[in-house]
Structure 1
Amino acid sequence: MKEIKAFVRPNKVNEIVQHLKDAGFENMTISTAEGTGKFQDDKAFVSQKFSITDSPTAKIEMVVAKEKINTVINIISEYGKTLNPGDGLIYVSDVEKVYRVKTGLENGF
């Protein structure tokens, strides 16, 4: 199993999620975030919560089978891009084990 964390522009999330669902990826976590980096958006603002952030972003997190990674990356890249700097990043990590909270038992995917 692999974990995908994608940081994308907030205005692209709905389209990305719809295409992921259409491709059969139903389970994901989506959250709003703030970040800072080399790129500074013209619409960036200094956060009222954190003094060092300057750009709103959204994070999509999901765990998928190793064989499905390229499909997910292609969907996020295709529907998340604007061809401008600051479109985001996608991280892929190994998942060693998954446990159900309700039972504490290892979940076999």
Structure 2
Amino acid sequence: MKEIKAFVRPNHVNELIEQLKDNGFENITISSAEGTGKFQDENAFVSQKFSVTDSPMAKIEMVVTKEKVNMVIGLISEYGKTLNPGDGIIYILNVEKTYRVKTGLENGEK
């Protein structure tokens, strides 16, 4: 299993999530984030929570099988981009195990 963490511009989240769901990816976590990068965005602002950020971002998190990673990367890349600096970044991490909160059992156990 792989965890995908993607940071994309918030105005692209609705279409991106719709595309992910249309392609069978139902378990998605979305949260608001603020980021800063190596470029200087003319829209940089003083955040109420942090000192200075370049832009608001949306953080998308999901866990998928190894075989589905490239499909998800393709969807995020296609529907999350604006072709401008600061479009975001995608991280792929290994997931050692998953457990159900309700039962405490490892996924796959009965």
Indicate the residue corresponding to 2:75 in structure 1: 75
Does structure 2 retain, via aligned residues, the 8 Å contact 1:40–1:86? no
Unaligned 5+ segments in structure 1 are none
Indicate the residue corresponding to 1:100 in structure 2: 100
The letter of the residue matching 1:22 is: D
Question: How far apart are 1:15 and its partner, in Å?
Answer: 0.8
Identity of aligned residues (%): 79
State how far apart, in whole Å, the 2-side matches of 1:42 and 1:54 are. 8
Does structure 1 retain, via aligned residues, the 8 Å contact 2:5–2:60? yes
State how far apart, in whole Å, the 1-side matches of 2:11 and 2:39 are. 17
Is it true that 1:5 corresponds to 2:5 in the alignment?
A: yes
Moved segments of 4+, more than 4 Å: none
Q: Deviations over 1:11-67 (max 9, x none)?
A: 010111000001010111000001111123222211011114332100000000100
State how far apart, in whole Å, the 1-side matches of 2:48 and 2:32 are. 14
Indicate the residue corresponding to 2:37 in structure 1: 37
State how far apart, in whole Å, the 1-side matches of 2:42 and 2:52 are. 16
SS at 2:11 equivalent: helix
State how far apart, in whole Å, the 2-side matches of 1:94 and 1:83 are. 29
Indicate the residue corresponding to 1:25 in structure 2: 25
TM-score, normalization: structure 2?
Answer: 0.93
The letter of the residue matching 2:50 is: F
TM-score, normalization: structure 1?
Answer: 0.94
State how far apart, in whole Å, the 2-side matches of 1:10 and 1:82 are. 11
State how far apart, in whole Å, the 1-side matches of 2:35 and 2:49 are. 12
The letter of the residue matching 2:89 is: L
Does structure 2 retain, via aligned residues, the 8 Å contact 1:33–1:58? yes
